[in-house]
Amino acid sequence: MMKKIIFSTLLLLVLVPMLAFGQNTGTLKGTIIDAEFNEPLPGVNIFIKGTTFGAATNVDGNYEIRNIRPGEYNVEISFVGFERVLLTGIRITAGEETELNYTLKEQILTSDEEVVVVGEAPIFDVEKSSTSSNISRSQIEAAPIRRVEDAVQLQSGVVKDPTGLYIKGGRAYETGYVVDGVSAQDPLAGTGFGLDLGANSFSNIEVITGGVGAEYGDVTSGVVAVQTRDGGDKYEGSFSHKRDNFGSNVASNQANFFTDIYELSIGGPGLLSEKLLPALGLDLPGRISFFATGQLAVSDEYTKNSANQVRSSLIDDTFWSPRQDNRWNGMLKMTYNIKPGMKFQAAYQRSLTVNQNTRMLQITGADVQIRPGYQFIFQPDLDNANTYTHESKLAYVKWTHTVSQTAFYDIQLSRLFTRLRSDANGRDWRPENVDSEFDPESITTFPAREFEGGDDFTYVLAGPGFYNNGGIATLWHDHFAEEITLKSTVTKFFNERQNQLTGGFEFKFNDYQWIDITRPWIGAPIQIDENTFSETRRVGETFDIWRVRPKRGAFFLSDKIRYRGLIATIGARLEYWAPGAYVDRAIDNPEAPIPDFIRDEYKNDTKKIFGQRFKFRLLPKVRVSFPVRENQVLFFNYGHSARIPHPSFVYAGLDPFYQDQSDFPDLGNPNLNPEVDISYEIGLRNQLSANDALNISAFWRDKYDFVTTQTITVQDPTGRPVQRAFRINGDYARSRGVEMTYIKRYRDLLQGQLSVTYSRAEGLSSTNDDNFQNIAGQQLVGNNVETPLAWDRPWDIKGNITFTYDRDEPLFDLAPLNQFRAFLSAVWRSGNRYTPYEFVGFSRNPVTGANDWRPIYERVQDPSKRFSEVGPSWFYMDLNIQKWIEIGDTRLSAFLEITNLLNNQNAIIVNPVTGEGYRSDYPNSQEALVNLRNDRSYDVPGNVRDPRYLDPNDNNVPSYLNPANFLQQRQIMFGISLQF
C-alpha cells in the first residue's frame, strides 16, 4: 500500500506540470571563441542543465538552441582540452533570443569534478541521480559544528542520537566514513568514526544517503566523505578558542559543562620550494604547499559529573585527560603540483580520545539499544568506572596524473591504525593477587537507614542502588587494527565527454588483534598464607583473544552515459574477502570447536587462491536521471551493497587451546556471509529558480543476512559436549520512506533549507544478540515477528537558515550591524521507541504482608508489541552568531554559540510504564512522597527504585536520577578567533 502511495504521488508531480505546458518559448544562441588565438571553436558542446536541450558549435563557433521554456537555467560548456564552464542564472524570455557568448581557455584535464562557475554557485545539481548533499567550508564555519557528525546530522535522512548516526533506517555501524578517499573507520569498534578530526580540518563534506557509487565498499547505509583542506599560494592561518566557563568548573552553574575548544591552523606555500631550494641555487619545478591543523576539545559533558581524574593504562601522563571527555587531533598535509595534470599528495592525521563513554566501544551485539554511554551506576565514584582510550593514525600518499586530454588516473597508498583500550580507569588488566572485593555492588553502609516495620521489629534499608563498595568496572578490553590499502582509479572520456568510463581496484591488507575480558580478577592468584598462592588457568569470567590477518578488496567499474538530457550510470563492484590463515588452520584442525557442517560449507563456499580461501560477491549498481520538463528531473537509483560482519563474530573461540569456560561463551562462525542491502530510490528534482529548489524522493531498502545468534552444541578439546552462542546469517530488516527538501537563497543575504522525512524501519531484531537473550531468558518475545527497530524515528523535520551581512553600508545604518552572520537550526523528531509495560498487580507489603504495596509492571509479552510505542518527541534549536572586523588581511571575530536554545527536555531513555521521560521532581519529605503513590505518572518498572515506597528488599538502581535520561541542556559557548 505504501509503495502505491509513494509512486502515485511522484507520478502526479510529473504529470501536472506537463499538462500546464505552454507554447511560448525562447531561443539561446551565441559564439564560443578560443581565448589564446581569438578564433571560433567548432564542436564545443553546450548543454542546458536539467533539460534535453543541447547543441554543438559549427565551423564558425556559432550555436543555437530553440524552443526553450521561459525561465532561469544553468548552461554548461565543455570541449576536450579546454576548461569546463558552468554559467548560472541565464534567463530565457518567451519570444526572444538570448545571446550567450563565451571565450574558452585551454586547460589540462585533472578530474571530472573540476568546473569553472560563472555567476552565483548553483544551490544544487538538478541532474544528480544519487541522493547526496555537499557541505562547503563556508557552511561549516557558519554552523556550530565541532566534529563531522555535527555537520552530517543537519542533512535530510540522517538521525543522530547519543548512540550514533542512522541513515535512512540503517543501523549505526552501516555508515561508511571516508577521509580523502581513505576509509577512516575503526573496523573493530563497531559504530563511531575512527578518526576524530576537528571542524577546522574540513574543506568539504559530502553526505551520500542514496545511490552510493561502485567506488565505495563495506557500506550498506550511507557514506560520509570528508575532503580535508589544502594550502594555498599565500600563507594563511587561524586560531580560535571557545568556552562556556570563566576558567573554573562551578557545579552550581547549570549552563556550565566546563568545555574548552582550541583550534589552530596554518597553510601556504612550502618553504622547501619557496626559500630553501632557491637559496641553494636549486630550482624545483611546480609548486609545493602545505596545511597543518590541530584541535583540542575538553569537557565535563552535559551530565556534569566527572571522575576526580580520568586515567588510562594506554598513556602514562594524565596531561592528556584533564577532564571527563578529552579529544585531541591534528593533521599535516603536503601537496606538490609538479605541473598541470600531475600532482603528488602526502598527509598524516592523528586523533586521541580519552573519556568514560561506553559508546566508544559499541560492538554490534548485546548493547542496550538507544541509551547514552554515561556509566550512571558508577555516579558516586566515576574513578572506578571504565575509561576508554581511542587512538587513530591515518597516513597516505597519493599520485594523480593526466595522461591525455581524455584520461587521467590516481593511485593511493594508505595506512590506518586504530587502537582502543578499556580499563578500570587506568588500572592494570588484573591484580597481582585477589586481596579484596573487586566486583562492584550496592551495599548498606554506616550509618544504616532504618525502616520501622512495626512494634516488634525494624528493617535496615538496602543500599543506594549505586555501586558504593569500592568495586571496579568489570570490563578490560584492548584491540588494534592496522589496515594498509592500495587503491587506484582510472577515468577515460569518450565521444566528447558524453561517455565516462571509470574503473579501479582496492586491495586491503589487515592485521587485527582482539582481547576482551570480563571480571579479569577471576583466575588471578589468591593468597592462602604467607608463602602460598592459588593458581588457575582462567583468564577472567569470560574472555576472547585472537590475532588475525584477513585480506579484503574489490574491483569496480562504472560507465556514465549522457544522451539528450538522459544521464545513466551503470556499474558493478566485485568484492572479495579472505578470513585469513587463522581460520583456514582452524577449519583443518579437528580439535577446533567448529561444527563439521560449517567446515564443509566453508570449503564449498570459498575458493582457494594463493594458499588462502576467498569469498566473492558481485554488487550491481544503476543510477539514472532524465528531465521530464525544463529544470525538472526524474531520477532513479538501484544498488546492492554489502558489509562484512564484525570480526568478533567470525573469530571468537576458535582456538582449541584457549577456551572460555563461562556459560554460553561465543563461538565464531568462519562461514558468515556479508550483510546485504538492496536499495531502490525514485525522486523528482525541481529547480524552481536559480535560488529555489524542491526535491522529493521515496526510498525502499531490503536488508538481508544480518547476523543473529543461536545456541549450538559442540565438543570441547576433551570431547565433552558444551553449548556455545553461535552467529548465523538469519536476520533481515527493511526501511522505507519519503523525503522532501526545499532549498532557498535570497541574494547574498540569506540561505536556508527545510527537510521533512517520514520513514519506517522494521525487522526481526535490533541487535545481533536479541535472539540469544530471548532463548537464554526463556521469553515469549521471539525473533519470528517483524516489528519496528529500536532506532526507528518515523518523523524527522529539520531546517536551518543562515543570514550574512557584509556590505559597504551597515544594516539600518547602525554601525554594529555589519560584518556579522547568524545561523539558526531547528529539529523536531519522533521520540525513541520502547516496548510498553502493563500493570499485573501489587507487590507484597513489607509490614503487613498484604499484596497492596508497590504496583508491578511487566513487559508486554505479545511479540508484535516489541518497540511498538514512540516516546515524547524531540525538539531543539541551535544558534550561532558571529561578528567580525577586518584590519588589513586579518579578521578578528567574536562569536556566541547556543545549543538547545530553548533548553528543552528531550527524553533519551523512556519510562516504558508511562511512555514519558522519567520524572525527577520528587519532593524531599517522605510524607510528601507517600502522597504521590496514587499518581501514576511516577510509576516505574520493577527494576527501577521508586522512592515513594521504602522497602528493605529494594536495592534497584534509582534510574530517575540519571542525568543522561535526557539530551543535553542549554549550553552557551563564547569565544574569539583570529584569521590571517
Q: What is the pLDDT of residues 547-557, one digit of tens each?
A: 999 999 999 99
- Whether residue 20 is predicted with pLDDT greater than 80 in this model: the reply is no
**What is the C-alpha R_g of the chain?**
31
- Name the band, by pLDDT with cuts 50, 70 and 90, for residue 14: very low
Q: What is the pLDDT of residue 189?
A: 86
8-state DSSP, 850: -
Cβ-in-10-Å burial (0-12, 13-18, 19+) of 805 comes to: middle
- Residue 685, CA distances (Å) to 239, 700, 741 in order: 40, 18, 10
State the maximum Cα–Cα separation within the chain, in Å, rounded to a whole number: 113
Percentage above 70 pLDDT, the chain: 92
Q: What are the grid coordinates assigned to 225, written together?
A: 566523505
- Whether residue 778 is predicted with pLDDT greater than 50 in this model: the reply is no
3 state SS of 584? helix
Kindly state the average pLDDT of the residues 128-157.
86
Per-residue pLDDT tens over the stretch 724-762: 888 899 889 999 999 999 999 998 899 999 999 999 999
End-to-end, the C-alpha distance of the chain in Å comes to 58
Q: What is the rounded CA–CA span in Å between residue 648 and residue 546? A: 9
Q: What is the rounded CA–CA span in Å between residue 887 and residue 779? A: 70
Higher pLDDT, 109 or 420: 420
- Whether residue 273 is predicted with pLDDT greater than 70 in this model: the reply is no
Cβ-in-10-Å burial (0-12, 13-18, 19+) of 401 comes to: middle
Q: What are the grid coordinates assigned to 40, written together?
A: 571560433
- Name the band, by pLDDT with cuts 50, 70 and 90, for residue 847: confident
3 state SS of 21? coil
- Beta bridge partners of residue 18, listed in sequence order: none
Q: What is the pLDDT of residue 365?
A: 54
Please give the backbone phi and psi of residue 91, each rounded to the nearest 5 degrees, phi first.
-95, 130
3 state SS of 959? helix
Q: What is the rounded CA–CA span in Å between residue 464 and residue 473? A: 18
Identity of the amino acid at 209: T
Cβ-in-10-Å burial (0-12, 13-18, 19+) of 291 comes to: buried
Higher pLDDT, 537 or 350: 350
Q: Quick count: other Cβ atoms within 10 Å of Cβ 137?
A: 15
Least confident of 56-65, 102-111, 252-261: 252-261
Q: What is the pLDDT of residue 781?
A: 38
**Average pLDDT, rounded, for the chain:** 88
Tell me whether the omega of the peptide bond preceding residue 42 falls within 30 degrees of 0, making it cis.
no
Q: What is the pLDDT of residue 320?
A: 95
Kindly state the average pLDDT of the residues 505-533.
89
- Beta bridge partners of residue 566, listed in sequence order: 563
| DSSP string across 154-217 | TSTTEEEETTEEEETT--GGG-EEEETTEE-S-TTSBSS-SS--BGGGEEEEEEEEES--TT--
Least confident of 38-52, 293-307, 389-403, 450-464: 450-464
3-state helix, strand, coil in the chain (%, to 5): 10, 45, 40
- Count of CA atoms in the C-beta half-sphere (13 A) of 274: 12
| CB contact at 8 A, 104 and 44 | yes
Degrees, nearest 5: CA angle 675-676-680 = 155
CA dihedral (944, 949, 955, 960) positive or negative: positive
- Beta bridge partners of residue 933, listed in sequence order: none
Least confident of 328-332, 456-460, 578-582, 633-637: 456-460
Q: What is the pLDDT of residue 42?
A: 93
Picking from 721, 711, 700, the residue whose alpha carbon sits closest to that of residue 636 is: 700
8-state DSSP, 936: G
- Beta bridge partners of residue 895, listed in sequence order: 882, 975
| CB contact at 8 A, 900 and 971 | yes
Q: What is the pLDDT of residue 327?
A: 96
- Whether residue 266 is predicted with pLDDT greater than 70 in this model: the reply is yes
- Whether residue 450 is predicted with pLDDT greater than 90 in this model: the reply is no
Q: What is the rounded CA–CA span in Å between residue 55 and residue 63? A: 6
Q: What is the pLDDT of residue 124?
A: 82
- Residue 894, CA distances (Å) to 198, 237, 241, 891 in order: 19, 17, 10, 10
pTM higher than 0.85: yes
Q: What are the grid coordinates assigned to 194, written together?
A: 575512527
Kindly state the average pLDDT of the residues 369-382.
88
- Name the band, by pLDDT with cuts 50, 70 and 90, for residue 478: very high
Chain centroid offset of residue 10 CA: 30
Q: What is the pLDDT of residue 81?
A: 85
Degrees, nearest 5: CA angle 552-557-561 = 160
- Name the band, by pLDDT with cuts 50, 70 and 90, for residue 15: very low
3 state SS of 242? strand
Contacts of 888 (CB under 8 A, 6+ apart): none
Element spanning 371, H or E: none
Picking from 671, 673, 675, the residue whose alpha carbon sits closest to that of residue 601 is: 671
3 state SS of 613? strand
Q: What is the rounded CA–CA span in Å between residue 477 and residue 562? A: 53
- Name the band, by pLDDT with cuts 50, 70 and 90, for residue 123: confident
Cβ-in-10-Å burial (0-12, 13-18, 19+) of 859 comes to: middle
Q: What is the pLDDT of residue 17?
A: 45
Kindly state the average pLDDT of the residues 449-475.
83
3 state SS of 598? helix
Q: What is the pLDDT of residue 779?
A: 40
- Whether residue 794 is predicted with pLDDT greater than 90 in this model: the reply is yes
Would you tell me the crossing angle of helices 596-605 and 581-588 to the nearest 10 degrees? 130
- Name the band, by pLDDT with cuts 50, 70 and 90, for residue 637: very high
- Alpha-helix runs per DSSP H in 509-662: 581-588, 596-605, 648-651
- Whether residue 278 is predicted with pLDDT greater than 90 in this model: the reply is no
Per-residue pLDDT tens over the stretch 806-839: 998 888 888 888 999 999 999 999 999 999 999 9
Picking from 79, 100, 101, the residue whose alpha carbon sits closest to that of residue 90 is: 100
Contacts of 457 (CB under 8 A, 6+ apart): none
Least confident of 7-11, 618-622, 797-801: 7-11
Least confident of 359-373, 614-628, 832-846: 359-373
Exposed e or buried b per residue across 82-105, where buried means at least 16 C-beta atoms within 10 angstroms of its C-beta: bbbbbbbebebeeeeebebebebe
Picking from 517, 493, 415, the residue whose alpha carbon sits closest to that of residue 195 is: 415
| CB contact at 8 A, 172 and 166 | yes
Q: What is the pLDDT of residue 193?
A: 72
| CB contact at 8 A, 541 and 665 | no
Least confident of 62-66, 254-258, 395-399: 254-258
Chain centroid offset of residue 893 CA: 30
Kindly state the average pLDDT of the residues 121-136.
87
- Whether residue 22 is predicted with pLDDT greater than 50 in this model: the reply is no
Q: Quick count: other Cβ atoms within 10 Å of Cβ 426?
A: 21
Percentage above 90 pLDDT, the chain: 61
3 state SS of 631? coil
3 state SS of 19? helix
- Alpha-helix runs per DSSP H in 871-975: 926-930
- Name the band, by pLDDT with cuts 50, 70 and 90, for residue 457: low
3 state SS of 743? strand
3 state SS of 946? coil
Identity of the amino acid at 493: F
| DSSP string across 144-162 | T-SBHHHHHTTSTTEEEET
Q: How many residues does the chain have?
A: 980
Least confident of 290-299, 493-502, 532-541, 584-593: 532-541
Q: What is the pLDDT of residue 938?
A: 95
3 state SS of 510? strand
Q: What is the pLDDT of residue 355?
A: 95
